[in-house]
Chains A and B, each alone.
Chain A
Amino acid sequence: MSELLSVQSSKAVNKEAGREKLKPHTVSPRLAVPAHIMRPPYVDTGKNPFYDEVQVHDAESLVKMRAACKLAAQVLEYAGTLVQPGVTTDAIDKAVHQMIIDNGAYPSPLTYGNFPKSVCTSVNECICHGIPDSRGLANGDIINIDVTVYLNGYHGDTSRMFFVGSVSDSARRLCETTKQCLDAAIMQCGPGVPVSRIGQVIHEMGERAKLGVVPNFVGHGVGWHFHSAPVINHVRNREPGVMVPGLTFTIEPMLVEGTTRSKTWRDDWTVVTADGKLAAQYEHTILITKGGHEVLTVA
């Protein structure tokens, strides 16, 4: 019965772009994680903690952090190879989940604040936190896959856009500009740089490209905690805070074609643009070094 309903609802046409409006589909049952794999402390508590302390690594901690980030990047690369028309986001989740546990890691999103799956899949007008479900990818879709893994006590967090079949010029431009914003922000990072520089750079680039930058979802410190200070605004801001060597955090700008206002679905996670226009996001975990910065989430 629910499948019948979802077929009918997926026929609803989004007047904005002639593509189907994104609707919730069926979420499959929870996947198991082998008992020997180390779980982060929030698992099965329903909590989504955000810690007020920044995370600065010493040499020993950095070794483990690099390993977690490298795995996250490898998983993301693999996930991208699965993106084809007709493939469901649930199938991508299953495959990503398997690769993560095969590598002895825990998929960080799973049960964080009751998130039901192991990866976030955000299609078209979904800004972030999309839940993998039975919706098949359609030609012309753009999808963000956001991978976070917890390996030996450390989280590595990265995401990027993938195209399904052939996408429109405006969708391509949106994604390319978002990537450029991330890269430009990363270039600015180094010891002594104010954290607010990131938002300044991204916001200005977005404005020049006549694209909106989503203000209320932010990058964050990452390491032994999934989410912590510093808060990385992607829009112009006056947050205090200066980068120091050993600091690790994510930069994850979300750019939109239309309004930056968003709506959250009843599943309490999926965030979509209020006007149904496209959204794109790219994310890396960055380390501040004595001489500058290093992108950790590279395969």
Chain B
Amino acid sequence: MKRVLVAVKRVVDYNARIRVKADKSGIDVANVKMSMNPFCEIALEEAVRLKEKKLTEEVVAVTIGVKAAQDQLRTALAMGADRGIHVLTDAELEPLAVARLLAALAQRDEPALFLLGKQAIDGDNNHTGQMLAGLLGWPQATFASKVETDPVAGTATVTREVDGGLQTLRLRLPAVVTSDLRLNEPRYATLPNIMKAKRKPIEQLSPEALGMDVPKRLEILRVEEPPKRKGGVRVASVAELVDRLHNEAKVL
């Protein structure tokens, strides 16, 4: 394959403690540590492994968002991507707008494989990969736990994690694949690779340059913390348990 594209997203770090804003409009992200979405890391690692197996000539990392998202692109470059693309926008990102931008890039750059994380840990939407495939008319395999490509045959064989177990699909390339947790364990960006990544090129463009806008189609009504869990109660005997279940909890 000539090229694999990987989309990576800047999200709140999975370890960070977050708080809901007082006006319930969203999460307070000021001064919170941001990192690459863990599923995007897994997708990127898979792409870099394909390059190491000489199944693709280059790996291109793409991100959409604010200027600071460049940090995540640099991490992607440090993990082994060859170059980066940064679509700069301060707009709030929704899956459909992102999918449309990625589709425009896919049509422009013609990758054989487009890898994404199955979902981002901020929105947890699990929409973007699927929408991207739909917009492009490409086959898709989501929740991938194993990816094998046959560039000569022009196919990818992907094992998916589904509710009933594992499903294996063969897709004709170009295709969209989204990563699940067990696909691989991403490598760490070591200091020498971070230094080398500074010299790799990042292309910056606006949504308009791709002929796209980033409209707000969804309105978030409110964001709330889950209800606080009440403490458990110890009972002295089975009889008391039955009594409480019958009279207090009213489940018997």
Contact = CB atoms under 8 A, between A and B. Distances in A.
Interface residues of A, number: 15
B195 A216 contact: no
A231 B192 contact: yes
- Nearest 9 CB-CB pairings of A with B: A215-B188, A50-B192, A218-B190, A216-B188, A216-B190, A217-B191, A231-B192, A50-B195, A216-B191
B38 to A, nearest CB: 14
B189 interface: yes
A114 interface: no
29 contacts: A48-B195, A50-B192, A50-B195, A50-B196, A215-B188, A215-B190, A216-B188, A216-B189, A216-B190, A216-B191, A216-B194, A217-B190, A217-B191, A218-B190, A218-B191, A218-B192, A220-B192, A227-B192, A231-B190, A231-B192, A231-B193, A233-B188, A233-B190, A235-B188, A237-B187, A238-B52, A238-B187, A240-B52, A261-B15
Interface in B150-191: 187-191
A233 B189 CA distance: 11
Given A215-B190, A238-B52, A261-B15, 15 more contacts: A48-B195, A50-B195, A50-B196, A215-B188, A216-B188, A216-B190, A216-B194, A217-B190, A218-B192, A227-B192, A231-B192, A231-B193, A233-B188, A237-B187, A238-B187
Contacts of A215: 188, 190
Interface of A: 48, 50, 215-218, 220, 227, 231, 233, 235, 237-238, 240, 261
Q: Is the interface of A mostly helix, strand, loop or mixed?
A: loop
Contacts of B15: 261
A217 B190 CA distance: 6
Nearest to B188: A215
A231 B15 CA distance: 28
A218 B193 CA distance: 10
Contacts, number: 29
A154 to B, nearest CB: 20
A91 to B, nearest CB: 28
A114 to B, nearest CB: 13
Contacts of A240: 52
Nearest to A215: B188
A167 B213 CA distance: 61
Nearest to B187: A237
Best-buried of A216, A220, A238, A240 by chain B (most CB within 10 Å): A216
Contacts of A233: 188, 190
**Size category of the binding interface on chain B:** 10 to 19
Nearest to A51: B192
Contacts of B195: 48, 50
A215 B185 CA distance: 13
Contacts of A227: 192
Contacts of B191: 216-218
A238 B190 CA distance: 13
A237 B48 CA distance: 14
Interface string B193-216: 111100000000000000000000
A2 B189 CA distance: 36
B108 to A, nearest CB: 32
A103 to B, nearest CB: 29
Nearest to B196: A50
Contacts of B194: 216
Interface string B10-21: 000001000000
A237 B52 CA distance: 14
Contacts of B192: 50, 218, 220, 227, 231
Contacts of A216: 188-191, 194
Nearest to B194: A216
Interface string B74-96: 00000000000000000000000
A43 to B, nearest CB: 18
A128 to B, nearest CB: 10
A235 to B, nearest CB: 7
Contacts of A50: 192, 195-196
Nearest to A129: B191
Contacts of A238: 52, 187
Contacts of B187: 237-238
A216 B197 CA distance: 14
A167 B191 CA distance: 31
Nearest to A240: B52
